[in-house]
Amino acid sequence: MTGAAGFIGFHVARTLLVEGRRVVGLDNLNDYYDPSLKQARLDVLRASKGFEFVQADLTDRTAIAASFAKHRFATVIHLAAQAGVRHSIDNPQACADANLEGFLNILEGCRYNGCSHLLYASSSSVYGANTKQPFAVGDPTDHPVSLYAATKKANEVMAYCYSHLYRLPMTGLRFFTIYGPWGRPDMAYFLFTKAIIEGRPIKLFNHGRMRRDFSYVDDVARVVSLLIDRPPRRGEPGGDPPARIYNVGNNHPEELSRMVTLLEEALGRTAVKEMLPMQAGDVIETFADISDLMRDIGFVPRTPFDEGIRRFVSWYRGHYGI
């Protein structure tokens, strides 16, 4: 698993370890956000005998190839990436290096070492400027509004190509605004919580008129767990490749204003709000059609939004001693 010290990777790895699976977790532990949070996640994972950690960068072709050759992974879960829509606009090279070159190294590792299933992280960002709601997997994804979205679209195309050429089973996961304990400090709900506690203003872009299909991280980890042993069927040469894509979301958009209200209630404090115009690269609403996921694995989101926010705030207070 790549990105094992990241937000989603940590939760997926912990879920798999509880199931009794062995996990080799790879991460470069970069400083895109506080590395001490990544180390704290790793400390939890290292408490399990089934976990092994490898520190390496996706762009280090030699290190990635050596890890594949050593372990010959039957299943690969690729969650590492340079995240952040704004970061991709300000630092395009870092985004391209990790998300394009890094993904190619993972594909090559799978190709040459007998991998029977690659699950990889895509993003709801691929829907870009689409206005049809909810977003369905078959909708066009040809109008990205950020470089991050463009790299995730490219990942899907690269995966399809490798699946076609080498009959490698590939499952792409378009994640929709994942939240919960141990989250990423650059995400809005995390930033808002910190600002409200410190009495600083929170920035509400598009004057707060945004809707997101918030997906609780434990529900997301359950999706990955259920899909691991369900690779797409290998087709005959020249036929349809064994490649598929799913939306992974809550199937229910929430107003950003409701998230702020829930945070205020959980924290017992009132937010100071700064209303701002729309950011470049952002979209007004995301809404996941998860009917394929419901049909294929019986997935139904279990965590109500208000409960998920309460759990995050409880974790935040405990982790930071507040």
Q: What is the CATH number of the domain that holds 104?
A: 3.40.50.720
Would you place residue 139 in the very low, low, confident or very high pLDDT band (cuts 50, 70, 90)? very high
- On whether residue 98 sits in a domain, the answer given is yes
Q: What's the length of the chain?
A: 322
Q: Is residue 83 in a domain? A: yes
Residue 261 domain flag? no
- Residue 171 domain-assigned (yes or no): yes
Segment 224-258, tens digit of pLDDT: 999 999 999 876 666 789 999 999 999 999 999 99
Q: Is residue 58 part of a domain?
A: yes
Token representation of residue 172: 């792409």
243 beta partners: 170
Q: Which own/partner contact pairs does 295-299 have at CB distance under 8 Å and 24+ positions apart?
A: 296/230, 296/246, 297/223, 297/226, 297/227, 297/230, 299/222, 299/223, 299/226
**How many domains, the chain?**
1
List phi, psi (to 5°) of 203: -95, 120
Which residue range(s) make up the domain with 230? 7-184+214-253+287-305
Residue 275 included in any domain: no
> Does the model's pTM come out above 0.85?
yes
In contact, 8 and 217? CB cutoff 8 Å: yes
Of 79, 57, 109, residue with least CA distance to 224:
79
45-87 pLDDT, tens digit each: 999 999 999 999 999 999 999 999 999 999 999 999 998 877 8
Model pLDDT for residues 287-309, shown as the tens digit of each residue: 999 999 999 999 999 999 999 99
For residue 115, give the 3-state DSSP assignment: coil
Active-site residues: which are they?
Answer: 148
